[in-house]
Amino acid sequence: MSEPEHKRGASPLLTAALPQLDPQLSVADVLRMALADPLRALRHNLVHAGPQEPEFVHQARVSVRRLRTSVRAFRAMSEVRPWRDDLRVLEASLRVLNQVLGEARDADIFQGVTLDTLRVGLDPDLLPTLVAVAARAEARRVAAYAAMAALPEKTGDGAVFLLAERLMGELSSTALAGTRQAMTHVAKTQLRKAHARVMRAARHPERLGAPQRHRLRIAVKRLRYLTDVWASLWPQKRSRRYLTQLEKLQQTLGALNDAAVAGRTLRQLKAGAALRAVWQAQEKRLIAREMPRVARRLAALEHSPAPWR
């Protein structure tokens, strides 16, 4: 578990280390390794997350993504009913947790990025509108953090932790005991399919509208975190190059998605046509600047040696 310093005197953020897998491990042990560090990081970052510490929310979301990816990666490996039932409930609980954390994170980005961007060079006549929008946005942010504070997981309890710890125990040893699939073969199959989904979603990137960009972002994000799960099965240098391309692509698509979410938020907060038009112009410039970069990074990803090949 890495512990980067966050603030002097403050509790450090925790980022989950990637699992270091051995192909000779049992399937149950591989599952435990895939869940253990994200679970610890999630517990720590949730406890410390709050309106004054938004970066903990971001790191908690990363841990949730890693857990959801691992759950999807292992869910077809056993037909034992109690194990599959627990896995389904865990998946649903993680989805709810992700939604609550996502609302807090969106509110943080709107307050810390969107409003600051709008203030630069804004027509003075629109400043009263912006002030009113900022007040409504802060009320929304307070509500989002209140919803997060009400989660049982905020204090280290709740269904996510109970179910994940149960799945890491004897239940998985029993449910997965008959699984004889080689982990390297499973990883190759999953990664090939995920890579192919990205390439399908990325056809003609210059023509992608907002819904298509969103689908591409989701496909890239899932491939990136799935690669994180399995990367240690191949030489580090080869996996690192591929992951670097994915991370750059995810970052660029994430910035475009943040801008789209900000546009919807302005509409929901009744920003008015004039202020929304200012943001739409900002977003249009961002798309024009970043989509050629997306196309280049997609080409680099397509021609980058995938670790499983």
3-state secondary structure 37-60: HHHHHHHHHHHHCECCEHHHHHHH
Domain spans of the chain?
23-180, 182-309
**Which residues are CB-contacts of 23 (< 8 A; sequence separation ≥ 6)?**
182, 183, 184, 233
pLDDT, position 305: 87
Among candidate residues 6, 225, 25, 36, the one with its CA nearest the CA of residue 16: 36
Token pair 């600047």: residue: 289
Q: Where are the alpha helices (DSSP H) in 208-272?
A: 210-230, 236-268
The pTM of the full predicted model, rounded to 2 decimals, is 0.89
pLDDT, position 1: 44
pLDDT, position 180: 65
pLDDT, position 10: 58
Q: What's the CATH code, domain 23-180?
A: 1.20.120
pLDDT, position 166: 86
User: How far is 276 from 192, CA to CA, in rounded Å?
Assistant: 41
3-state DSSP assignment of residue 2: strand
Structure tokens given for 126: 């629109």
User: How far is 91 from 245, CA to CA, in rounded Å?
Assistant: 28
**Separation in Å, CA 155 to CA 202, 205, 306:** 41, 43, 40
Q: Which residues of the chain have pLDDT under 50?
A: 1-9
